Chains A and B, each alone.
Chain A
Amino acid sequence: MTIKQLSVFLENKTGRINEVTKILSRHGINMQAFSMAETADFGILRLIVSDVDKAVEVLRGEDFAVMLTDVVYMHCPNEAGALAGILDRLAQGEVAIEYMYAFAEGDMAHIVVRPTHIEQCEKALA
């Protein structure tokens, strides 16, 4: 399903991620997943949070550059070949992936995909 991901622009500076997490914690917003894309001087922190609208509001209030991005969330059994099966379907549907992140926990694996075209991706998975 398509969900909203929070993207935060960060300078590469010690303690900067910590400031984001502290602000979210102060407002009782839970982080469910995150990934960090980095270059030499800046990074983009990508987050899936419990209350995305509130997260945008509080981070903007603290002068962070924040935006929302549509991503596709899915889950599969935590077993060999499960992800390969999903990626096969995406490849057959000619879905281009910009980035993705995933993690496994117990019997379940969670995957967040940023495809170039959301609708095409949804169709391939349907």
Chain B
Amino acid sequence: MIWNPNKECMSRDEMHALQSKRLQKLVTYVYHNVPFYRNKMQAMDLSPEDIRSIDDIVKLPFTTKQDLRDNYPYGLQAAPASEIVRVHASSGTTGNPTIVGYTRKDLAVWSEVMARCLTAYGVTREDTFSVAYGYGLFTGGLGAHYGVENLGATVIPTSTGNTEKHIRLIRDLKVSGIACTPSYALYLAETLEKMGLTKEDIGLRIGAFGAEPWTENMRKEIEERLGLKGYNIYGLSEIMGPGVSYECSEQNGSHICEDHFYPEIINPETLEQLPRGQQGELVFTTLTKEGMPLLRYRTKDLCTLMEGECACGRTAVRMGRIVGRSDDMLIIRGINVFPSQVESVILEMKEFEPQYMLVVDRVGNLDTLQVQVEVRRDFFSDDIGRMLAMKKQLADRLKSVLSISADVKLMEPGSIERAQGKGKHVIDNRILK
């Protein structure tokens, strides 16, 4: 099913025309309402008239997370305070939080794009859907919530915490769909097993997983343990929240709602726009946003964009999986290492729980990488030789994927801290705080 075929299946020419028209309007709007952008454009000797089509987007300045922090709280807001009806904020663990104000129309667009996602996953008005993203300043909870309501399904606003009660609700209210982080989905599966229940005792059919990078192997693991089909959902609060892109039944990349969010891939070092199909940093321009519109916002997420018609009938460009974040990337002995690479190796081996921690340290002048993994109860052996072989097998596979050697540390099951929200997978002791 397709929620809005007019937009989701638009011809490429029509989409180009629509995006061009919207970009022109957006640039004029921010030029006259956001001094930050007016100053930047004037410094580049650029006026709104210079933007004639979506292809002129490369002339426009970028926006970074730092720009949002520097203009805290409302410096980048374009709409007057009287038009803002809601505010969300990012966590701000590394500085000022990012404040995003939404107008009534922004919220309508958000619940529209969320309804597109949920429809693509197969959610209908008959479904009961649990939103287990955190409710509050984080966009996950409320964003998904209003999407479910817009679609007309029944929403259970579970939020996070109290997982056993959540599982009882899933069972008793016949909840068929859930939105949460992939880490939380695994925690849910673990708790289910601990309660002595099986996936057959609950009737979950659809999972909308996002807010952190995850891998194909993790998808298989979650699907197997919860008995549902897992779909990727992507979004970020600076641009909107969940619903920026979503997987369809083909699961070959996530369709971007590009009538609202225009994507580009750039080389994060030279800032040049890269052709479709090449991997680089994902950049979004909010074509229709009123509250806090952004030009060429650098997401730090690394992925590729794919064009071409999809068997599902949608024409919107697709983004591949996020392979990492340019700021999640660890540089160990000069080699780029992404936690997601380690995760996919661990998930390929049935001997280990899908929980891991990378501990990076520096001994003398040499960086060291330790990968901590939990041994599954069923694979624990009284035979030390067998345990050491298991450890060596993982170390060998890690080495072939990462190109650097990692010291594997076997941990007791349950000993690595479980995440309720976004999983934490790296401890970098090299950073002096």
Contact = CB atoms under 8 A, between A and B. Distances in A.
Contacts of B375: 9, 65
Interface residues of B, number: 16
A11 B412 contact: yes
Contacts of A44: 382, 384, 387
Contact of A41 (B380, B381, B382, B409): B409
Given A41-B409, A41-B410, A65-B412, A9 B380 contact: yes
A103 B380 CA distance: 27
A5 B411 CA distance: 22
Interface in A47-74: 60, 63-67, 69
Contact of A42 (B382, B383, B410): B410
A39 B384 contact: yes
B176 to A, nearest CB: 31
B382 A46 contact: yes
Contact of B413 (A5, A39, A65, A114): A65
Contacts of A64: 412
Nearest to A98: B383
Nearest to A69: B382
B388 interface: yes
B35 interface: no
Contacts of B66: none
Given A46-B382, A65-B375, A65-B380, A39 B388 contact: yes
Contacts of B4: none
Nearest to B407: A41
Nearest to B376: A65
Contacts of B387: 39, 42, 44
Contact of A67 (B381, B384, B409): B381
Nearest to B194: A63
Contacts of B383: 98
A46 B383 CA distance: 11
Contact of B411 (A7, A11, A39, A114): A11
A102 interface: no
Interface of A: 5, 7, 9-11, 37, 39, 41-42, 44, 46, 60, 63-67, 69, 98, 114
Given A44-B387, A65-B377, A65-B413, 16 more contacts: A5-B382, A7-B382, A9-B380, A11-B411, A11-B412, A41-B410, A42-B387, A44-B382, A63-B414, A65-B412, A66-B377, A66-B380, A67-B380, A67-B381, A67-B382, A98-B383
14 contacts: A7-B380, A9-B375, A10-B412, A11-B412, A37-B384, A41-B410, A44-B382, A44-B384, A46-B382, A65-B377, A65-B413, A67-B380, A67-B381, A67-B382
